[in-house]
Amino acid sequence: GEPLGVNVRAVPLDNGRVAIEAADVTEAHRVARVRRDFVANVSHELKTPVGALQLLAEALLDATDKDPAAAIRFAERIKHESSRLGRLVSELLELSRLQGAEPLPEPEPVDVDKITAEVLDRTKTPASAKEMEVVFQGMRGLTVYGNENQLVTAVVNLVENAIAYSPESTKVTVTTSASGDGYVEIAVADQGIGIEPRDLDRIFERFYRADRARSRATGGTGLGLAIVKHISTNHGGRVTVESTVGVGSTFTLRLPSRPSEAALALPPSVEI
């Protein structure tokens, strides 16, 4: 368990006696530990691709004269690793912005059809690379209240995951609906590999992957769902998941359709 943190100090009183003051710093210790763990995780996540790039560059130099075909393979892997590294750095920046104390930037009514059109556009390339189709269905003309860029990022992340963790030629369905109590739901359903029940609670944590090897192969950083979670809570909404291994997963974003007092009063989700 957590070590109990107590700061104790002696306070001399006017009457000549001494009072003992004890402050519970257990929470401060926890925060410090979470921060240390995060820095350690980030360092590890950055070191791995950098190490791989060094080895690949050496192998490439070695193979240039001897084995041109191998040299091409090494160059391709360098390209893949470096683009993953670039994505890791930009997602880390994005996450640190979302976790900052800034309130939601420029919240306004956002047309859900505009979000889905942008998502379709941004996921066309990865979808067609796997001969997959992204289908949009449900209610038209819905509005959510928030920041358009962030909302597009959240749905793009969910659709990209749906594509990455599905076999070729399967379908991704994005369904929009109004829940009737002032919320809009955007559900992203795939026919993919699914998620084990024991992983379900943890996949929204930074750097958590159910299957490290597969996530690396798909170019994953382990940050996508942490970003989605921050965006939804910053909007006064939430993200949930239902999944069956071997059948598929459905991620549902629930977002307020108008500036509710609850959403506006909500501080940005601060995590360390």
Chain contacts with ligand ADP (rule: CB under 6 A): 161-162, 165, 190, 192-195, 203, 208-211, 215, 220-226, 249
Residue linked to tokens 């590999």 = 193
Which lies closer to ligand ADP via its Cβ, residue 144 or residue 193? 193
Three-class secondary structure of residue 104 per DSSP: coil
What's the closest the beta carbon of residue 62 comes to ligand ADP, in angstroms?
31
Q: How far is the CB of 213 from ligand ADP (least distance, A)?
A: 10
Quote the DSSP letter at residue 266.
Answer: P
Smallest gap from Cβ 159 to ligand ADP, in A, equals 9
Dig out the tokens for 46 from the structure.
């950055």
Catalytic: 235?
Answer: no
Task: Give 98's Cβ-side CA count (13 Å radius).
Answer: 27
- Which residues is 250 bridged to in the sheet? 189, 242
Closest to ligand ADP by CB, 147 vs 221, is 221
Which residues lie across from 8 on neighbouring strands?
22
DSSP-based three-state secondary structure for 180: coil
Q: Which is nearer to ligand ADP, 115 or 154 (CB)?
A: 154
Q: Which is nearer to ligand ADP, 22 or 213 (CB)?
A: 213
Q: How far is the CB of 130 from ligand ADP (least distance, A)?
A: 13
C-alpha distances in angstroms, 13 versus 6, 8, 9? 21, 16, 13
| Residue in 44, 80, 230, 235 annotated catalytic | 44
Give the ranges where 100-219 is alpha helix by DSSP (H): 112-129, 148-164, 197-200, 212-217
Catalytic positions: 44
